[in-house]
Amino acid sequence: MNQGGNRDSVKEHLLSESIWIRILYMVLFWLAGHLVIAMVILIAVLQGVLVLFTGQPNLSLQEFSLALNRYLYQMANFLTFNSETKPFPFSDWPSAGHAEVTDSRDS
């Protein structure tokens, strides 16, 4: 095996500006992911309280949390190199329509 060629390849990757920029984005999205997870937990607690008092979850919070879940999915795909598309704010915010949220009153 050619050791010199291997070292040149590693050196080329280590000096690649695009890889370092991607790593920077990955760190930023990792931090953003922790913030989003905290928001999801807060929404879960709030929805639980709302269900205790009103008997049903808040539809607007359901829709927003569905979008947050999709955002987390997009971030995870980017962080694990399954996607080259950077999540919001570099692409559109994931949407959640009324039809996609399960209405607990229907069951």
User: Residues 78, 29: contact at Cβ < 8 Å?
Assistant: yes
Per-residue pLDDT tens digits for 47-72: 999 999 999 999 999 999 999 999 99
* pLDDT value of position 98: 59
Domain boundaries in the chain? 28-106
Using only the alpha carbons of the chain, give its radius of gyration: 20
Residues of the chain with pLDDT under 50: 1, 107
CB atoms within 10 A of CB 74: 19
- As a whole number of angstroms, the distance between CA 69 and CA 106 comes to 23
**pTM value?**
0.77
* pLDDT value of position 2: 53
User: Residues 33, 75: contact at Cβ < 8 Å?
Assistant: yes
* pLDDT value of position 107: 47
User: Residues 33, 70: contact at Cβ < 8 Å?
Assistant: no
User: Residues 78, 91: contact at Cβ < 8 Å?
Assistant: no
